A and B are shown apart, each in its own frame.
Chain A
């Protein structure tokens, strides 16, 4: 099995800790040699996943914790974000995401629902497990392999 270092942190499911995890993400990605651009992508993706978990916990009126695991490999990072609240309907969430078409009237614009879309656009691979709470597993490679913003080839089905 490929060797890797593992860093795990737990934070309260509160919005004020999103920035704390983002700083940690930035530190690890910098240490691994990710480009400036890629580090910014990772910061957004991690923040989106934690924001989802935080708002989920908030809706459930429970004061939970979010666990974030960073699997640090030679050429890529795997990030696991787990909330331990109830599960959500993934199909419903996925249907509510996507880029805008400029033909849509302003009145019908959604104010949410880009979180998952951004994660998929910015990471190389994204998997979501919905069995016990919600676990988002995302991967990004250190190499210059950049996911084009027009490509949405990333799959969440596994």
Chain B
């Protein structure tokens, strides 16, 4: 029921690896880490959700504010490697049309 994160900085790209569950308790922690990354000018912020096995609307809220913040600083937000269940939450709410999502890796995932 916890969330762990680490950030990898490359030249024009920040990669945020997230693992655990995103809910009302952990979402503020995610926001605290993600938002500063999106405030940097002209960067690509890639959030790797491969190891996130649960997310609800509190996570959507964080990604929406990250998207807004990225636009303001001419940066790009991309979510990658979403598990089916997490992707479904974006699909139901129509947010998969608005946020750049590179969906799940199927099969080859251990």
**CB-CB < 8 A to B64: which residues of A?**
109-111
A122 to B57, CA, bound (A): 13
How many A-B contacts are there with CB distance less than 8 Å? Answer: 82
Q: Give chain B's interface secondary structure class.
A: helix
- A residues 1-50 with Cβ under 8 Å of B? 15-16, 18-20, 22-23, 40, 43-44, 47-48, 50
Q: Which residues of A contact B54 (CB under 8 A)?
A: 22, 40, 43-44
A112–B65 Cα distance when bound, in Å, is 10
Q: In the assembled complex, which residues on chain B have CB atoms less than 8 Å from the CB atom of A104? A: 98
A109 and B24 in contact, given A19-B1, A115-B57 (Cβ under 8 angstroms) = no
Tell me the complex Cα distance, A106–B1, Å.
Answer: 31
A48 and B94 form a contact (CB under 8 A): no
Name which of A43, A101, A106 has the most chain B CB atoms within 10 A of its CB. Answer: A106
The reply on B8 being an interface residue by CB < 8 A is no
Range class of the A interface residue count: 20 to 34
Name the distance in Å between B108's Cβ and chain A's nearest Cβ: 20
Q: Which residues from A are CB-within-8-Å of B57? A: 48, 51, 112, 114-115, 118
Assembled-state Cα–Cα distance A43/B58 (Å)? 14
Cβ–Cβ contact B24 & A100, under 8 A = no
- The reply to whether B93 and A100 contact each other, CB–CB distance below 8 Å, is yes
Q: Contact at A18–B67, with CB atoms within 8 Å? A: no
Q: Is the CB of B93 within 8 A of A109?
A: no
Which of B25, B57, B61, B67 is most buried by chain A, counting CB atoms within 10 A of its CB? B57
- From A20, A22, A44, A106, B68 is in contact (CB under 8 Å) with A106
Residues of A within 8 A of B65 (CB): 111
Report A94-138 CB contacts with B as 1/0, cut-off 8 Å: 000001111010110111101101100110000000000000000
Interface string of B73-100 (1 = CB under 8 A from A): 0000000000001001101111101100
Name the residue on B nearest A46 (C-beta): B56
Which chain B residue has the least Cβ–Cβ distance from A20?
A: B1
